[in-house]
Structure 1
Amino acid sequence: MSMELKPPPSDGWVPTLDDTPFTRMGGEAPVHALAEAFYDVMDAEEPALAAIHELDAQGKVNRGTRQRFGMFLVGWLGGPQHYSATHGHPRLRMRHGHLPVDTAMRDAWLRCMQKAMDKRGITGGLRSFLDDRFAQVADFLRNTEG
């Protein structure tokens, strides 16, 4: 059985222990800015996806959700583990298990993240790596047919 191999990232970058996606992005502030851009896109373009989150008085995804996701991304991308220290292990499937996550929901989430990465100027090998990883996680969270 042969396995199809993906081509290397466009600029040849692959993460290492010393050159993680977190360091490549520039640290905590840019990672939190990605989380903000993600929810800004969601609020503007994916109202059905935004509606399953806790919303503020203006009907936007609230500050706490944005901060938690930013903390999660910091650790997930190889930075300090603030999320785990504060909230415990992410247990992504368990934490999302109460929501029906189908293909349409997965695709909406990925559209938001892709547009957020576009807004933040994430390109090259880092972008290729993140596109793949976000797609894997989003698909892993599917728990409903369709």
Structure 2
Amino acid sequence: MKEIRRGTFSEETFFDQVGGEPTFRRLARRFYEGVAGDELLRPMYPEEDLGPAEERMALFLMQYWGGPNTYSERRGHPRLRMRHVPFKVDKAAHDAWLTHMRAAVASLELSAEHEQQLLDYLAYAAASMINTPG
């Protein structure tokens, strides 16, 4: 689907196709609801309230998928691996993270194509964060 912006044609972004900011905020909210009760993942979030982590994730994902650049404006380059170095991210943490993320994605009720595209990226991202054997 194409839309007209300032007299030029541009491809509609994934961000736009799936419902924009509200969709990514729901995704982050649902994900962190799962993390809040997860004994393995919860200690990786030093804030007492998961709100700041939820906000960072929502902003990052919005930017990654074609939304506003707010994440970079506030935090600079994402540097995801560097930001996760202080935490032990092993296969168990990877699996737990993906379990909560898959549930969050499923809750969005996206088209099968959009859901798969999002899940493929998230699986790749989760694998790239592993920094501890085991």
- TM bucket by the smaller chain? 0.7 to 0.9
Q: How does 1:108-127 map to 2 (within 5 A)?
A: 108-127=96-115
Q: How far is the alpha carbon of 1:21 from its aligned partner?
A: 2.2
1:86-133 C-alpha deviation (Å, 9 max, x unpaired): 100000010001111111111111101000011221341011111111
AA aligned to 1:50 is R
119-128 or 65-74, larger mean C-alpha shift = 119-128
| Preserved CA contact (<8 Å) 2:35 2:100 | yes
Task: Report the residue type matching 2:26 in the other structure.
Answer: A
Aligned to 1:72: 60
How far the C-alpha of 1:62 sits from its partner, in A, is 2.0
| 2-structure distance, mates of 1:90, 1:83 | 8
In structure 1, the partner of 2:21 is: 28
- Distance in structure 1 (CA, Å) of the matches to 2:73 and 2:107: 30
Give the 5 Å matches for 1:1-146: 18-44=11-37, 46-56=38-48, 61-146=49-134
Query: In the comparison of the two structures, how many residue pairs are matched?
Result: 125
Which letter maps to 2:130? R
Give the number of the structure whose residues are more often strand, by fraction.
Answer: 2
Do 1:54 and 1:65's aligned partners in 2 also have CA atoms closer than 8 Å? no
Q: Which TM-score applies when normalising by structure 2?
A: 0.86
The two structures, once aligned, show a CA RMSD in angstroms of 1.4
Stretches of 4+ moved more than 4 A in 1? none
C-alpha distance in structure 2 between counterparts of 1:128 and 1:22, whole Å: 14
Moved more, 88-97 or 27-36: 27-36
Q: Distance in 1 between matches of 2:52 and 2:17?
A: 26
Where does structure 1 lack aligned partners over 5 or more consecutive residues?
1-16
Say if 1:72 and 1:83, in contact at 8 Å, map to a contact too. yes
- Contact 1:102/1:142 (<8 A) preserved: yes
